[in-house]
A and B are shown apart, each in its own frame.
Chain A
Amino acid sequence: MLSHLRPAIVSMVFFTLLLGLAYPLGVTGIAGAAFPSQAGGSLIRNAQGEIVGSQLIGQNFKGDAYLRPRPSAAGKDGYDAAGSSGSNLGPMNEDLAARIKADAEALREADGKGSLPADAVTASASGLDPHISPENAARQVARIAKTRGIAPDQVAAIIAANTQGPTFGFLGRSRVNVLTANLALDARYPKPQAKAP
């Protein structure tokens, strides 16, 4: 056993230097040079250069003028991008039933009684899901158009421009990026005044 001692210790040091420092730092260097935006987290900046978010990370929109995201279990108020989490509630859990019921009522209050898609009342795995389903977005068109004083078609066009289909036609699902759609709405049809509740 003692004969294994030296290779065991020295190899751990060797591998730590090679795989724990050289490898990640090397990849960081190459990635930062070749793909600076992605490597930096796909951040979105406003005209003043301030970071308004990441196009990959959902935000907890509440205002009537915006597409609203899915329920989130990340952090106390949802969409905590430093504390990702799903709800982990099982199908028989009473807390899940209560939450879905309350959310469904609130959504019907806000956007009418039309049929609710499943993603509108379920919390995502990450709590940071940047997307909603096209059906979920379509339900919200009338409210956004009314709040902004524009035609529903104009809102629908923005949503369509921020919708992606399945990759290669069959991998994954169609989805609307909530943050980029809302930014596009603000850029194209500025609200009279921003009123976040």
Chain B
Amino acid sequence: MDWRGWAEIVFTIALTVAVGWPLGIFMARVWAGERTWLDPVLKPVEAVAYAAFGVDRNRQQGWFGYAGALIAFSAAGFALLYGMLRLQGILPLNPQGFDGLSPHLAFNTAVSFVTNTNWQSYGGETTMSNLSQMAGLTVQNFVSAGAGLAVAAALSRAFAADRGEGLGNFWVDLTRTTLYVLLPLSILTALALVAAGVPQTLLANVEASTVEGAKQVISLFPTASQEAIKQWGTNGGGIFNVNSAHPLENPTPLTNLIEVVSLNALAFGTVIAFGRVAGARREARALIAVMAILVGVAASAIYASETLTPQPAMVAAGIPDASANMEGKEVRFGAATSAMWAAQTTGASNGSVNSMHGSYMPLGGGVAMFLMQLGEILPGGVGSGLYGMVVMALLAVFVAGLMVGRTPEYLGKKVEAREIKLAMLAVLILPLSILGFSAIAAVLPVALEGLLNKGPRGLTEILYAYSSATGNNGSAYAGLTANAPWWNTTLGIAMLLGRFAYAIPVLAIAGAIAVKPKLQPTAGTLPSDSPLFVGLLIGIILILGGLQFFPALALGPIVEHFQVLAAAR
């Protein structure tokens, strides 16, 4: 550990929030349908889109209609992507001549990108054609993020409404968010990344004769354009197998900074937009504080783990600096830049990596996994992080209300039995899917075949995979070979549960909240913008996560930590 590492962690989180802030203000304007400086270019495109979709942009949808549109859109996206992947072999723009994907891999991949997870059971440069990368995966990177942001817009309006009815129009929110926010950001970021060294070419491979006379085939791809939206949309699906650890996806500390800021800025921005739309700016700042504090603590914990835990294999080989765990890390990044990214990507539901979590020390990797198990709210995926955090805030005011014996309120809305039931329904999906699937996989020979590491780390590979899939994260302890029918199918189901069994109760909450009258705060209202509330919310998040997952963590990363300490002695 050194001062540079700590400076990098603090600087990056501060910069991310600072970039997200104006983006959130802008996004609130986009959601409200207000004029923006992009109107001259995008207004006509938008008009063409609504005419083609057959959508009346002024028609409000209730929560049920909004959810129906979300499901229909996701289903259409799934069908198109599944077909494109299966037929890859006979479609154009396939310079390497890759075959179509197997049914279970195509199912897993299509679900993965439609649910904004971007779990990858395949290695990109050995599986995907240019067409699949661009017209398949890149498109879902945009629109799955747009759909998540649309749900956040609907929830924001619910809190603003006073005995309101509609939540907005899904098609309009999706289209406007994608066109006005995600597309311009991606174009700018892609060009900045190319300038800094990321390739962008339709040439798939070039062949080099190395200095020592060997042949080296270098995969290139249109990388920058996907890299940009992969980060802004908290998608995380890389062009290459090793994602942003690949020196072509992320060649320098500068590209790393661009990528890690774009990874989380918009998720923070969503909270700002929520505060503006719902008329709760101070409360939104409290949510930002919770997110930034927890992700900062997590990054520090991972950094400490990766620089203080002795690596038994290096101790045995007599390496003096045996606590510098560089296995699975790049020299240009080192421990701090890697730990920083690991916390940011698992705190968000991004899942891109710039180092291999599967080679992390037990506690470092364990913290990353725990961040996913907390429900991807720190700051979470674009859209999904905000609505997950609001669910936690509802639970926090509910618990506080129980303690003082008053009907809880949040942002001027009474929180009653229906909302809390729906919130618990959403929250319980995580342990049900993560622990349920892990329990089965841990005793199923066909599942265990996929593991690379044995013992506690093997269990962690399983837990990590289902945490990642259910949290719609997408990162992996990549020792697990997931491209097999069991893993592809069950991880696909976990991703669907994590996305829709969470988003639909949230929309139902939004529907219930919207029709309530907007109350003025009284002396008995728990202020939800105070340091007290920040502390309460952090407590609820950690206790909820801790109680659910601590037994499983004890059997995985925690016991392995003590094994490592014993072996390194």
Interface residues of A (CB under 8 A from B): 1, 4-12, 14-16, 18-21, 23-28, 30-32, 34-35, 38-43, 50-54, 56-63, 66, 70, 79-93, 96-97, 99-101, 103-104, 115-119, 121-133, 166-167, 169-173, 175, 179, 182-183, 186, 194, 196
Contact = CB atoms under 8 A, between A and B. Distances in A.
11 contacts: A41-B218, A84-B123, A86-B327, A88-B358, A90-B358, A92-B560, A116-B320, A124-B245, A124-B331, A126-B246, A172-B256
A23 B143 CA distance: 13
A127 B233 CA distance: 27
B176 interface: no
A27 B187 contact: yes
A58 B322 CA distance: 24
Interface stretch (B31-39, B411-419, B451-459): B451-459
Contact of A56 (B72, B197, B329): B197
Contacts of B214: 59-60
Given A93-B452, A170-B7, 4 more contacts: A83-B125, A85-B241, A86-B327, A116-B317
A52 B211 contact: yes
Contacts of B334: 172-173
Contacts of B477: 88
A38 B123 contact: no
B208 A31 contact: no
Contact of A35 (B125, B178, B195, B209): B195
Contacts of B242: 84-86, 125-128
Contacts of B498: none
A170 B4 contact: yes
B191 A27 contact: yes
Contacts of B4: 166, 169-170
A40 B218 contact: no
B252 interface: yes
B312 A42 contact: no
A96 B174 CA distance: 47
Q: How large is the interface on B (under 10, 10 to 19, 20 to 34, 35 or more residues)?
A: 35 or more
Contacts of A132: 331
Contacts of A83: 123, 125-126, 241
Given A28-B201, A31-B190, A89-B359, A59 B226 contact: no
Contacts of A125: 242, 245, 328-330, 338, 353-356
Interface stretch (B50-58, B503-511, B545-553): B50-58
Contacts of B73: 4, 7-8, 11-12
Interface string B311-323: 1111011111110
B142 A172 contact: no
A84 B52 contact: no
Interface in B513-529: none
A53 B208 contact: yes
B199 A38 contact: yes
Q: A-B pairs with the 6 shortest C-beta distances?
A: A172-B253, A20-B135, A125-B245, A4-B72, A173-B334, A86-B356
Contacts of A122: 314, 325-329
Interface in B291-318: 309, 311-314, 316-318
Contacts of B49: 11, 14
Contact of A118 (B201, B319, B353): B319
Given A32-B200, A62-B212, A101 B313 contact: yes
A1 B317 CA distance: 64
B194 interface: yes
